[in-house]
Amino acid sequence: MDSSSKPELVTEFPGIIRVYKDGHVERLIETGFVPPSTDPQTGGSSKDITMIPESNVSARLFLPKLTSPHQKLPLLVYFHGGAFCVSSPFTPKYNSYLNALVAEANVIAVSVNYRKAPEHPIPTAYEDSWAALQWVVSHCNSKGPEAWLNDHADFQRVFLGGESAGANIAHNLAIIAGNPEFGLNVQLRGIALVHPFFWGSDPIGSEALMDPGKKSVLDRVWPFICPSNPDNNDPRFNPVAMDAPSLVGLGCTRVLVCVAEKDGVRDRGRLYFEALGRSGWMGVVEIMETEGEDHGFHLSDLESEKAKDLIKRLAAFYNGDMPCSL
């Protein structure tokens, strides 16, 4: 092909995504799809649903193996990672992880497929996720459109959770839920933030010593996904920024923050934990750090002991069995 006829590349995150001048987007990872099924290892079931047809917001529901037909379980509304621009609940990685987590925690989970940047820039991911949460909560009187939620979700025990960008979404939804003007019909019990994707304009902690290439990528993500406000101190990306909503208003009573020692955004998770603890918020916040591991390590090796430890800690959180100390 003549080089002049090749589409012009305007943005690239190597190994993740390419965007061309003609608007074509090429996603380089996590594009696979596995169908919903009964998981042979855990006995749990999954199925796909469309929540909001007009915006095509969908989800994969996960139900653990039941011990009785009318069993009520904690409800996890889950948001996957992928820097707001790649992946989905239907990839092999997230499907396997949710199967394992749901089996260990004995919860029913709704894994939300929000729309991705750059075709759908921020705030679309937040708007889709909030709409999905409202749809889920519409089942609290057992009269919603989805039988699994009507029959098995305990709306006294509703949790939000996610990895990376999904953890960011969970935090931001909890902030909205804590605002009486936008509040839900149910009280969120807690949020579990695994390797939350927070950042900021000014380096903190070990970030000043970070590999310049890695730091450059992190600095570029928010302007890429949120061209309407490309400032890395956007309160949605930096929850401790000067103009961020006070954490005292977080709309839940328990928070678990999980960080990994080698993760470039580790110090942001630690800072969030510390800031929440001293904010005057009336809940309980805990932190778990996995030594020797990097961002999202557990998703690619569910059989490792450290991944199993993380899943067990999350399961304990969703079942209200939090340790008193680390």
DSSP 281-317: -SSEEEEEEETT--TTGGGG-TTSHHHHHHHHHHHHH
Q: Which stretches of 32-176 are assigned E, i.e. beta strand? A: 45-52, 57-63, 73-79, 108-113, 153-163
pTM exceeds 0.75, yes or no: yes
Over the stretch 244-297, which tens digit does the pLDDT of each residue have? 999 999 999 999 999 999 999 999 999 999 999 999 999 999 999 999 999 999
Over the stretch 192-237, which tens digit does the pLDDT of each residue have? 999 999 999 999 999 999 999 999 999 999 999 999 999 999 999 9
Q: How far is residue 287's CA from residue 275's CA, in Å, rounded to a whole number?
A: 12
Over the stretch 59-70, which tens digit does the pLDDT of each residue have? 999 999 998 888
* Section 46-65 average pLDDT: 97
pLDDT at residue number 325: 38
Is residue 88 over pLDDT 80? yes
| Whole-Å CA distances, 321 to 258, 316, 324 | 16, 5, 9
CATH class of 37-319: alpha beta
What type of residue sits at position 317? F
Active site residues: 164, 263, 295
> 313: pLDDT confidence band, cut at 50, 70 and 90?
very high
